[in-house]
Structures are given as C-alpha cells and as structure tokens.
C-alpha cells in the first residue's frame, strides 16, 4: 500500500494497481493475493479459514454491541471504534477454553478482557473522571447501579473549556450473540454544575428484565454542556465526552445436587 502524492488524485484501477480514497488519504495498492476458491478448499489454508471464521464472529459480536448502545455512541465514539472493538473481542474469543480453533466464541471467553473498553479513545473515562464509582448488578431485581460518592466537579473532572455543566449517563444491554438480539435501557443524572462545591452522592439505576439469564453489559459515561441564556447545549468535543464498558456479567447456572 502506497500513499498518492501530487495535485491529481486517482480513484479506480490501472493495470494491476488500484487507486482509492480512505480515511488515511488517497492510497494505491497492487492487485494480488490467492484465488478465493483455493482459500476455501485447499488444506494448506486451513488456518486461514479458521482465522477468518473467528474474525467474522468477533466482528459480528462487535456490531451487536455497537448497535445495542448506538443512541449513546452517536455522540460519544471515535472513527476507529469498530476496528478497536473487534480487536478486543478477538482477544476474548481466543480465550475460549472449550471450543477448537475456528469455532471459538466470544461469550465463552474471558469477558473481563472487554471491561474498561472506551468507545472514544480520545476521551477515556479514567482520564476524564477522577472520582471513584461503584458498579453493581441485581439480577433478581433487574437493576444495574452506578454509585458515585460525593465529589467536587471542578477538581474531579477533566472538562473542556467552556463547559459549565455535565450529565452522567449509564445504560444496560442484555446481549445474546447466538440469536443476535439485545435489549437497551438508559438513564442520566440531573445537570451538575461544574463548580468547587461538593456534589452528590449520585446514583444511576438502570432497569432490565428481572431474573435475566442473558449476558449483561453496562456502560457509563459523561456528557458536557454549556449553558447559554438558560439553554443547555451539548458540547461535541471529542476529546472529553466519554463512554466506557465498565462491567460485563455472565449468568452462571448453579448445578443442582
């Protein structure tokens, strides 16, 4: 892959060279590779087929997660969140201890490896909020909670210039990778003014189906606002608005004696 230079930028194919535009600029690459039928059938490409199958499974799982939390990602995500999430889910999938290579599954791997994933790499939660918080699940009652003790906003946050207020948001999704299904529910705090006054404690309770046996995921983040003439305007500063996958909880069926 080569980068195109000069005034005239090309798109299309000339001979064995393809010219195209990407997020990284205008690029060019030479045609090549192995015939598709050979990759599908030749025993020499067994590992390639296995890798491709698992990569596709991780990509599909990532799409389901992004779709589940799409209402929040519309205002808090970066341009490479798809590839970053797929890469992280590949790590989870590869930790599956039960299935053979090529058949490993995301939901059978070590899901703790995905906890802490930031949907906005430029606005990481741990680099934005310095106050502690606690996340808990109550499967029987169908509630996930994020508890934030008292804190001083001006001292406990890295916030964009011009921001006067913030809201904390939390959402829960019950995710089923096999059926490609999910639920979604979100809550947000009241507006919190960014001052040196003590605020809180705050508690965000998000409901989901009581007694759920699905994989539960909770995200937690912060949106910043600017107050102008009594109106609140969301600040779309990609370096500060944050959202992270803070907890993943897998249902464990207790064995009966």
Q: What dotted CATH number matches 45-249?
A: 2.60.40.10
Q: Read off the pLDDT band of 51 (50, 70, 90).
A: confident
**Is the separation of the CB atoms in 131 and 149 below 8 Å?**
yes
Average pLDDT value for residue range 226-238: 87
pLDDT at 254: 47
Question: DSSP letter string over 121-144?
Answer: TTS-GGGTB-S--EEEEETTTTEE
Q: Read off the pLDDT band of 47 (50, 70, 90).
A: low
**Is the separation of the CB atoms in 116 and 247 below 8 Å?**
no
Is the overall model pTM greater than 0.85, yes or no?
no
Rounded CA separation 56/54 (Å) = 5
Which tens digit of pLDDT belongs to each residue from 80-112? Answer: 999 999 999 999 999 999 999 889 999 999 999
Stretch (H or E) spanning 220: strand 215-228
pLDDT at 72: 94
Which tens digit of pLDDT belongs to each residue from 158-168? Answer: 999 999 999 99
Q: Read off the pLDDT band of 44 (50, 70, 90).
A: low
Average pLDDT value for residue range 210-237: 92
Nearest to 59 by CA among 93, 108, 98: 93
| Residue extents of the structural domains in the chain | 8-34, 45-249
Please indicate whether residue 64 or residue 255 has the higher confidence score (pLDDT).
64
């Amino acid at each position: 892959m080569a980068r195109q230079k000069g005034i005239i930028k090309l798109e299309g194919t000339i001979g064995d060279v393809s010219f195209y535009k990407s997020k990284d600029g205008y690029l060019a690459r030479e045609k090549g590779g192995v015939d598709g039928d050979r990759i599908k059938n030749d025993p020499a490409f067994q590992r390639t087929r296995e890798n491709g199958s698992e990569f596709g499974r991780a990509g599909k799982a990532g799409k389901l997660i992004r779709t589940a939390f799409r209402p929040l990602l519309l205002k808090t995500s970066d341009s490479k969140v798809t590839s970053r999430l797929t890469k992280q889910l590949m790590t989870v999938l590869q930790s599956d201890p039960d299935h053979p290579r090529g058949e490993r599954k995301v939901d059978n791997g070590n899901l703790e490896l995905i906890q802490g994933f930031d949907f906005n790499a430029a606005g990481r939660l741990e680099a934005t909020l310095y106050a502690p918080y606690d996340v808990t699940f109550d499967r029987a009652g169908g509630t996930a909670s994020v508890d934030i003790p008292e804190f001083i906003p001006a001292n406990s946050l890295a916030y964009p210039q011009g921001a006067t207020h913030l809201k904390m948001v939390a959402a829960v999704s019950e995710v089923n990778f096999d059926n490609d299904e999910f639920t979604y529910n979100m809550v947000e705090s009241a507006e919190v003014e960014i001052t040196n006054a003590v605020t809180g404690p705050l508690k965000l309770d998000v409901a989901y189906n009581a007694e759920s046996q699905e994989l539960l995921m909770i995200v937690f983040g912060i949106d910043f606002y600017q107050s102008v003439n009594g109106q609140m305007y969301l600040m779309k500063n990609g370096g500060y608005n944050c959202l992270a996958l803070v907890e993943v909880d897998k249902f464990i069926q207790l064995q009966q004696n």
